[in-house]
């Protein structure tokens, strides 16, 4: 009797409110999956749970990489799409589109200088998403993130499907680097370090909030200054070390996979998932700003308020806001010229 009642209750819930039943697996499309970031990112995503289809897109032939990844003993399938005309089929009905396509920096270059080469990636992907998966979450790794995200937002807006809660610039690598450098300095595991990194993803716009570090950061002001500078210039450190062979790929893939995992956990309905990302924001005078966000079934569930900062951090925010404002304007202008 009890069992029957239970079964009846379950079927009533399913019939009366099927939308209440959380989905557990998703289609994730990676644009630029054949590149230096795309390949390790795809491997890390294959190793994790929750993906029923991993759709790999690139301009080059993707069959080999897709076949290779499809032998990893995890559930879910891997599909491959090559060439510009296969972008729409690749992202079709995706729940999440992650974009790693584009040119990397060379030594001596600033991220901004990549807009001429990579701006089109934002426009093309946002156009494909508008047609083929307008409800998907869209997350960009492609630099310059500070301009690419506003450019994509403009395309989505013009196409009438813009939802600011579904568009992200991935800044997780700044958090990952902060955790590692702080963990090493404090002689603790980076796994035990928590620190928000706000602003944007280039130079002084990357602002780790040492005042909010958990556990409390023990270095003095000089150490904080030095470490902040190292975090802000960590991308350049990799570009220099690679000496003309590109920028961070493996650590970026690690960070990207962590952010994707959080987005998927949010989509599944898990509560309390917080990540920093560069998104449309009303927290400051900048139209796009990176800050801690609670993620959920529709992307951004809630903006965490900016914490009370040290006076040095407040000064740094005041300095970075005009930079991200200008970056956003350049991104939007770029998109408008393309449309
Ligand atoms: C990074 O932070 O490593 C990436 O944004 C790549 C770059 O150009 O620095």
Q: How confident is the model at residue 235 (pLDDT cuts 50, 70, 90)?
A: very high
Residue that wins the pLDDT comparison between 9 and 233:
233
Q: How many other CB atoms are found less than 10 A from the CB of residue 198?
A: 28
pLDDT over threshold 80, residue 49: yes
Tokens of residue 97, six digits: 């589109």
Residue nearest to atom 2 of ligand 1 (CA): 235
Which atom of ligand 1 lies at the shortest distance from residue 252's CA? 3
Q: How far is ligand 1, taken at its centre, from the CA of residue 247, in Å? A: 6
Spot the catalytic one: 57, 71, 201, 229: 201
**Pocket mutation for ligand 1, best pick of 105, 174, 200 (most atoms within 8 Å of C-beta):** 105
Domain boundaries, the chain: 26-170, 172-327
Report pLDDT for 141.
99
- For 23-33, b where at least 16 C-beta lie within 10 A, e where not — what string? eebbbbbbbbb
CA–CA distance, 111 with 171 (Å, rounded to integer): 14
Residue nearest to atom 5 of ligand 1 (CA): 235
Q: How far is ligand 1, taken at its centre, from the CA of residue 141, in Å? A: 9
**In CATH, which of 3.40.30.10, 3.90.110.10, 3.60.21.10, 2.50.20.10 is domain 172-327?**
3.90.110.10
Q: Matching CATH topology for 26-170 and 172-327?
A: no
**Pocket mutation for ligand 1, best pick of 104, 248, 249, 259 (most atoms within 8 Å of C-beta):** 248
pLDDT over threshold 70, residue 16: no
What global pTM score does this model have? 0.94
CA–CA distance, 237 with 234 (Å, rounded to integer): 5
Q: How confident is the model at residue 23 (pLDDT cuts 50, 70, 90)?
A: confident
Cβ atoms of 149 and 108 within 8 Å: the answer is no
Report pLDDT for 22.
72
User: At 92, phi and psi to the nearest 5?
Assistant: -55, 125
- pLDDT tens for 262-314 read 999 999 999 999 999 999 999 999 999 999 999 999 999 999 999 999 999 99
**In CATH, which of 3.20.130.10, 1.10.3720.10, 3.40.50.720, 3.40.50.11270 is domain 26-170?**
3.40.50.720
């Amino acid at each position: 009797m009890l069992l029957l009642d239970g079964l009846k209750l379950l079927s009533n819930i399913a019939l009366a409110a099927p939308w209440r039943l959380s989905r557990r697996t998703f289609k994730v499309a990676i644009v630029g999956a054949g590149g230096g970031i795309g390949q390790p990112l795809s491997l890390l995503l294959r190793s994790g749970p929750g993906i029923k289809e991993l759709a790999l897109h690139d301009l080059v032939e993707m069959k080999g990489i897709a076949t290779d990844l499809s032998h990893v003993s995890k559930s879910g399938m891997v599909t491959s799409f090559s060439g510009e005309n296969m972008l729409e089929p690749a992202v079709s009905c995706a729940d999440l589109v992650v974009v790693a396509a584009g040119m990397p920096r060379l030594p001596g270059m600033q991220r901004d200088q990549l807009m001429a080469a990579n701006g089109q990636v934002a426009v093309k992907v946002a156009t494909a998403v508008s047609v083929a998966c307008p409800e998907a979450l869209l997350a960009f790794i492609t630099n310059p993130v500070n301009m690419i995200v506003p450019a994509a937002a403009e395309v989505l807006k013009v196409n009438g499907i813009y939802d600011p809660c579904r568009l992200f610039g991935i800044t997780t690598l700044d958090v990952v680097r902060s955790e590692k450098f702080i963990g090493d300095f404090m002689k603790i595991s980076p796994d035990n370090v928590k620190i928000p990194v706000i602003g944007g993803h280039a130079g002084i716009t990357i602002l780790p909030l040492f005042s909010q570090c958990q556990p409390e950061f023990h270095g003095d002001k000089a150490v904080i200054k030095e470490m902040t500078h190292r975090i802000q210039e960590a991308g350049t450190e990799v570009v220099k070390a690679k000496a003309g062979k590109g920028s961070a790929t493996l650590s970026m893939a690690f960070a990207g996979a962590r952010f994707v995992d959080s987005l998927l956990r949010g989509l599944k309905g898990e509560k309390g998932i917080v990540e920093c990302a560069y998104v449309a924001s009303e927290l400051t005078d900048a139209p796009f700003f990176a800050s801690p966000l609670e993620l959920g079934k529709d992307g951004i569930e809630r903006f965490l308020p900016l914490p009370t900062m040290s006076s040095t951090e407040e000064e740094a925010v005041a300095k970075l806001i005009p930079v991200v404002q200008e970056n956003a304007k350049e991104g939007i202008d770029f998109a408008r010229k393309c449309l």
